[in-house]
Structure 1
């Protein structure tokens, strides 16, 4: 008989090693320690700086691919090479985060991506860079990025008191603002220091992040999971997050909600740039992307100050509902000012939704299970994005577009509301996306707040072969 999964008794042995916890105290803050928000802020800021550098690198390498190949297929391949691995590696990342020193995981993942970026910079400088190099670099970045994100989200509730979790997660969403606004900053940097210079700048930001992790002292209970060092039943660890979510139907419902939300967000994200270019110039696109990034940035700051709604699930539903209305506003007419406001307002809701949802997950999962469960949540939530990318474009171009030509079948009905002609098929798909998001929001409003975390660990499944 070969045991493939851990026995429930293993959970008892792991539980015996958990440090005592006084009521209401946070595991990283026992003994009357004051919550060290300053240390979290320093680490978060260094991660934000590194995220800015990575966003700039991703943008300029995408520009390089399109300029040198003029192939949208190869451009899409680069995007997928940075997306699919992040989905597949989630459970593996969770196991690593729950079993190894988390500071080392962060440092090693940063160093691996830095080496990859450095190699690409050398290849670019020597005029030897090829598309497959960039695809490989995107794959490495996606794997290490998933490790990085899972580690941070597993560490946050051990370093931050529960009442501040939504605030901290909202601030972490500011990284999305840097990704959206990267084209504007990268355009200026390309003229000043060139593509190789942008990649070297990214290496500097990695050095800042790694140095910060080496210098800032974090509590041992934050960087080392209670079950660290265990090499037992690796297959059980990989499937643990799935079994956990199946047992916790409240958290599974929240995870599926995130999946639906990610689908709606991805559809809007992949179509908004073609929508803007259907009536505006590349300069207008850059300005409106900056406006959208400003919305995320402001939303993250507001969450940092406000801390989010007290009823987190209900707050998610309300802000999803607002987001669906702002998506509708994208479609009413092809006006840069209208779309600029709609984009900023829609993306303002993102930190509230994501910050509140992540706080619910983190406060509802036992500390020694956080990595494995969050890794599974990331994989399930990320599944929707590739489908959104594959469906949105063809629907807008080959289905909705012809229907909303001046002589199309929907010209006299839907066309009377959102117009006809170039780009109106894209607007129609975004409008349908807004309706889906509205339905998701209504569903969320009827979800119950998840139960607080239990004191015992959910047992793994047992199987024999």
Structure 2
């Protein structure tokens, strides 16, 4: 039976319906549980490694770790996506996707076990270098895993279930960031420390690899077996990569809507990365907490993100998508600016409380309370930018090239998003974290104003039948934060840390 016949048979056998129905599909359930394990585990690792790198570079004389070193960690997650995304999109179309999913999960589990050994038995600079190198390996494997995962969805579900399946994957991607990075990561680091988190996550990836055994094999088309010699492989790889790069650039030049969608995605991805770099220092210096306690900022962002997505489902269909995005951009800018001034704002509110109100509102106007509220607003605004922008990008690209073009577009988004991360660490070490956050707010505000003046109008902003484009959160920009996604039939994503 050919791969096309296999796909048709699987679709014919699968039940139609909503979310409950699609979860009764055993093969899809295995794929979704694999995604859940890798996304949650990847975000846990991102949090744990951020804390580990900050601790390894902590200087008692200055009372802080190196934000520059944390920037390098995030770059280790992101750079492979820039280099390998286009290549991954090509090879995912040529190799059995089930095999790719199994092998990349097992190899990433081995890499996390390697990190456990490095963190446990090496010291000083050797430990830091080992962490960076293994992180690069994990991120490289993720650029191949992401597209294969997304491309497997239309193979294991029928067309009637595709929207429900994509919606579940999108929600899982976003929720896994909140669960892994903001809840389980901090909890496990506090209870077991970083080393044990790496060991636990390695187990999650092994489980994901076992789950992928249940998926159907999906071999390339017969013509893709031709010219398998070294020369043929080289010619096709080189021609395919550069051809797809030209195709992606051509789409961007010709379609202003795609250009602006990429701009929005790059900004949201880079902002999460920037906050990840600055988080430990912000927790220590601005909030007087431990470095791992910057979860008090991350968790409300995750909660705001979920609330924002739910609000989009209800109200997005009544508002033009472009206005939703631009409103979200300006709200993000305002929240960031206020976050950089959280200390003075809290002090002002406390003085007003003492002077005006007859009751003590101290806990409600404390610095911690102000930061939590601003982070909640930031997460809500983030959802109103990232989700409509992803939907626009996925809707406007032709389905027959979506997977490969997403590989190129993901590379371009990664390039645009990691540049700020390169800069903010060293700059924060020089001028301080609040000043960098304020600078980010100004940049986001200017981009939002430029969009108001120049961006083309788009459709409504409901979350709707969205597919899923990679990484919008740190690991999605990192782990996956590094792969591209096409949930409708072409290669995949993403990240999401994995």
| TM superposition score normalised by structure 1 | 0.71
Question: Residue 95 of structure 1 corresponds to which residue in structure 2?
Answer: 90
Other structure's SS at 1:99 match: coil
Deviations 1:180-220 (A, max 9, x none): 416xx4444345444443222112211221222222x46x7
- Aligned residues, how many? 403
Question: Residue 243 of structure 1 corresponds to which residue in structure 2?
Answer: 246
Aligned-pair CA distance for 1:264: 4.8
Q: 1:354 aligns with which of 374, 386, 411?
A: 386
Question: Residue 102 of structure 2 corresponds to which residue in structure 1?
Answer: 107
Q: Is the 8 A contact 1:397 1:425 kept in 2?
A: no
1:145 partnered with 2:142: yes
The 1:438/1:357 distance shift into structure 2, 3 A limit, reads closer
Question: Residue 481 of structure 2 corresponds to which residue in structure 1?
Answer: none
The 1:302/1:149 distance shift into structure 2, 3 A limit, reads farther
Other structure's SS at 1:100 match: coil
Aligned-pair CA distance for 1:100: 1.9
CA distance in 1, matches of 2:147, 2:452: 29
Question: Residue 389 of structure 1 corresponds to which residue in structure 2?
Answer: 421
Q: Is the 8 A contact 2:341 2:434 kept in 1?
A: no
Equivalences for residues 26-425 of structure 1 within 5 A: 29=11, 34=16, 37-38=22-23, 39=25, 40=28, 43-70=31-58, 72=66, 73-127=68-122, 130-156=127-153, 159=157, 161=162, 165=166, 168-178=169-179, 180-181=181-182, 185-190=184-189, 192-215=191-214, 217=215, 223=218, 229=225, 233-248=236-251, 249-250=254-255, 252-253=258-259, 254-271=261-278, 274-283=281-290, 285-299=294-308, 309=317, 315-334=324-343, 335-393=367-425, 401=431, 424-425=434-435
Other structure's SS at 2:391 match: helix
Q: RMSD of the alignment, in Å?
A: 4.0
The 1:312/1:378 distance shift into structure 2, 3 A limit, reads same
Q: Is the 8 A contact 1:157 1:363 kept in 2?
A: no
Question: Residue 456 of structure 2 corresponds to which residue in structure 1?
Answer: 446
CA distance in 2, matches of 1:166, 1:313: 21
CA distance in 2, matches of 1:275, 1:193: 23
Other structure's SS at 1:432 match: helix
Deviations 1:388-419 (A, max 9, x none): 12333555565xx5xxxxxxxxxxxxxxxxxx
Aligned-pair CA distance for 1:91: 0.6
Aligned-pair CA distance for 1:168: 4.3
Aligned-pair CA distance for 1:296: 3.2
Equivalences for residues 425-444 of structure 1 within 5 A: 425-439=435-449, 441-442=451-452
The 1:67/1:339 distance shift into structure 2, 3 A limit, reads closer
CA distance in 1, matches of 2:267, 2:98: 32
Deviations 1:53-82 (A, max 9, x none): 233334334434443453625444333222
Other structure's SS at 2:213 match: helix
CA distance in 1, matches of 2:237, 2:13: 34
CA distance in 2, matches of 1:63, 1:322: 29
Aligned-pair CA distance for 1:234: 1.8
